């Protein structure tokens, strides 16, 4: 009694341009910290940003490890927020990391090992948007990894990663409809158990 309830770790996953960030901004109402992955503000995030904007090259393996390391850079912050009752919303997480690298053909066991021990989400909201709708939304195709072919593979691979704590959200609809779906899910999270760590992805 009287204890502060811990914060929730909420992940938004889905294709590029599926409106995930918009959803976050419109669904606040609690104390929320928002972390986009890749987090381009950190030292490792800056390297990833340079790669995505075609300023530097690197091997797919090195890139995969940088994406994993970039998430590790923020673990202390995530845990501090959760334990003080602040919700953390991440735009992408280990599932993007695994799905993109598997879609490129990197070895499955090696890829999936990179995020073991990361905080386990309370919920992953998977925003499903048809590729046609995604392509029509602004800015698509400017960065590396945004080709239609890779996106299609990622979409298929992502579905194989589905866990009991995933919830599918139809993101083709208008913003208000999607927002309603998100609120209903987030309002019913059970935060009585302590935050767990991922033992597999
Ligand atoms: N991406 C993102 C990965 O390939 N692996 C990862 O671990 C993460 C977090 O990076 F194409 C890809 C997904 C996307 C690109 O992401 C940049 P944003 O959300 O468009 O910034
Ligand atoms: Mg992008």
Confirm or reject: Cβ of 114 under 6 Å from ligand 1.
no
Give yes or no for residue 3 having a pLDDT over 70: no
Tell the residue number behind the tokens 């999607």, with chain if given.
178
Q: What are 96's two structure tokens? A: 């993007």
Spatial CA neighbour of 94 closest among 168, 193, 19, 11: 11
93-142, pLDDT tens digit by residue?
999 999 999 999 999 999 999 999 999 999 999 988 776 777 676 666 78
Per-residue pLDDT, 140: 66
Give yes or no for residue 30 having a pLDDT over 70: yes
**pTM, full prediction:** 0.92
37-70, pLDDT tens digit by residue?
999 999 999 999 999 999 999 999 999 999 999 9
In the chain, what percentage of residues exceed pLDDT 70?
89
Per-residue pLDDT, 26: 67
Ligand 1 pocket test, candidate residues 22, 34, 145, 149, most atoms within 8 A of CB: 145
Provide the residues around ligand 2 (an ion) whose CB is within 5 A.
16
The strands making up 123-128's β-sheet, listed across from edge to edge, are 32-36, 87-91, 9-14, 123-128, 166-170
Confirm or reject: Cβ of 122 under 6 Å from ligand 1.
no
Ligand nearest to the backbone CA of 100: 1
Rounded to the nearest angstrom, the distance between the alpha carbon of 171 and the centre of ligand 2 is 16
Task: Give strand pairing partners of 167.
Answer: 125
> Averaged over 17-28, what is the pLDDT?
68
Say yes or no: ipTM exceeds 0.85: yes
133-185, pLDDT tens digit by residue?
776 766 667 899 988 899 889 989 998 999 999 999 888 888 888 888 888 88
Confirm or reject: Cβ of 51 under 6 Å from ligand 1.
no
More confident residue, 180 or 85: 85
Confirm or reject: Cβ of 12 under 6 Å from ligand 1.
no
Rounded to the nearest angstrom, the distance between the alpha carbon of 37 and the centre of ligand 1 is 7
Confirm or reject: Cβ of 67 under 6 Å from ligand 1.
yes
Helix (H) or strand (E) holding 148: helix 148-160
Per-residue pLDDT, 1: 47
Give yes or no for residue 72 having a pLDDT over 50: yes
């Amino acid at each position: 009694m009287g204890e502060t309830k811990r914060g929730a770790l909420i992940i938004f996953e889905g294709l590029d341009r599926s409106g995930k960030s918009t959803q976050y901004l419109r669904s606040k109402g609690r104390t929320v910290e928002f972390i986009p992955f890749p987090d381009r503000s950190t030292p490792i995030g800056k390297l990833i940003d340079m790669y995505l904007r075609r300023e530097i090259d690197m091997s797919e393996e090195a890139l995969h490890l940088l994406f994993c390391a970039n998430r590790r850079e923020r673990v202390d912050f995530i845990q501090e927020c959760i334990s003080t009752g602040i919700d953390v919303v991440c735009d992408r997480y280990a599932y993007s990391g695994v799905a993109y690298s598997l879609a490129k053909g990197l070895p499955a066991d090696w890829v999936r090992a990179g995020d073991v021990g990361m905080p386990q989400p309370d919920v992953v909201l998977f925003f499903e948007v048809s590729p046609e709708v995604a392509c029509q939304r602004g800015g698509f195709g400017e960065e590396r990894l945004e080709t239609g072919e890779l996106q299609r593979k990622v979409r298929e691979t992502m579905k194989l990663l589905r866990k009991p704590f995933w919830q599918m959200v139809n993101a083709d609809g208008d913003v208000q409809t999607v927002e309603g779906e998100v609120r209903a899910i987030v309002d019913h999270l059970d935060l009585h158990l302590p935050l767990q760590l991922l033992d597999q992805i």
